[in-house]
Amino acid sequence: MRDRAPSAAGTFYETTSDSLRKRLEWCFLHKLGPGRLPAKPIKASRSILGLISPHAGFIYSGPVAAHGYYRLSTEPAPKLVVIIGPNHTGMGAGVSVWDGGDWATPLGKIPVDRDIASSLTDAGVGELDSEAHLFEHSIEVQLPFLQYSLGEGFRILPICMMLQDADTSSELGSALARALAAIDALLIASTDFSHYEPYSVAYQKDSKVAEAILKMDPAGVEEAVEREGVSMCGPGPVMVAMTAARAMGATASEKLCYATSGDTSGTKGDVVGYGSFVMKR
């Protein structure tokens, strides 16, 4: 069973462990980041069940992503992290559950929970498939943040979505909640928001999606995306994570940070929007 080698190293983030750690520190300490490095847990139990995190190059979206991972670091680490990302390549199954070996980054390998993967597909949700994941960055770019913030001791379950309609998202979210009922798990929805919109337009459109997220309303996310014409690449993963988190006991969502590539790069013509949210008990 072949491990999954990094495909985004050298484009979305650095290729060596030392340079990648320095970049991650830059993200956390950036003026738009949390302003501090990941901490040891200060809570006895974990309240966060879901995280929404961006997936662009670290120089663009890394400071926004760092907010969510800093918050995760203050709570006990989960045993399993389910990462749901959109399919940008058009390869593989409509809902692709990784069926290969462990995933590697310059910071080391992360084991995959193949039992949960099999339980999902045995229930008729998604397909065991590696093709969709081979060159897809949306899941991979979350891994260095997880490794840097949580250390070792957790497993992952990567799920890549080409089909992102409300019905598919609801079915997958509900199935995940059932599969994770007895497991200490965290859900991560990997998504960027508006793509290549004028700076003020991105803020305006993305705020409507954020309203639905803060209401814990999966159907409202799809409605806002369609009504406002938001070029969000991962509404499906967000609806999946929200559906599963609510079934697992999440009652509230909190916005940690929203910014655009114009805020991080200084070029405010056509920008991409990034948001970091947590869903919690």
Q: So what's the pLDDT on residue 1?
A: 74
Q: So what's the pLDDT on residue 126?
A: 95
Q: So what's the pLDDT on residue 44?
A: 83
Q: So what's the pLDDT on residue 42?
A: 83
Q: Are 75 and 135 in contact (CB under 8 A)?
A: no
Q: So what's the pLDDT on residue 171?
A: 97
CATH domain 17-280 topology: Protocatechuate 4,5-dioxygenase; Chain B (3.40.830)
pLDDT band at 267 (very low <50, low <70, confident <90, very high): confident
pLDDT at residue 12 tops 80 = yes
Q: So what's the pLDDT on residue 41?
A: 87
Q: Where are the domains of the chain?
A: 17-280
pLDDT at residue 257 tops 90 = yes
User: pLDDT (tens digit, 9 = 90+) per residue, 201-211?
Assistant: 999 999 999 99
pLDDT band at 29 (very low <50, low <70, confident <90, very high): very high
pLDDT at residue 269 tops 90 = no
Q: So what's the pLDDT on residue 195?
A: 98
User: pLDDT (tens digit, 9 = 90+) per residue, 84-139?
Assistant: 999 999 999 999 999 999 999 999 999 999 999 999 999 899 999 999 999 999 99
How open is the CA angle 119-105-259, to the nearest 5 degrees?
A: 90
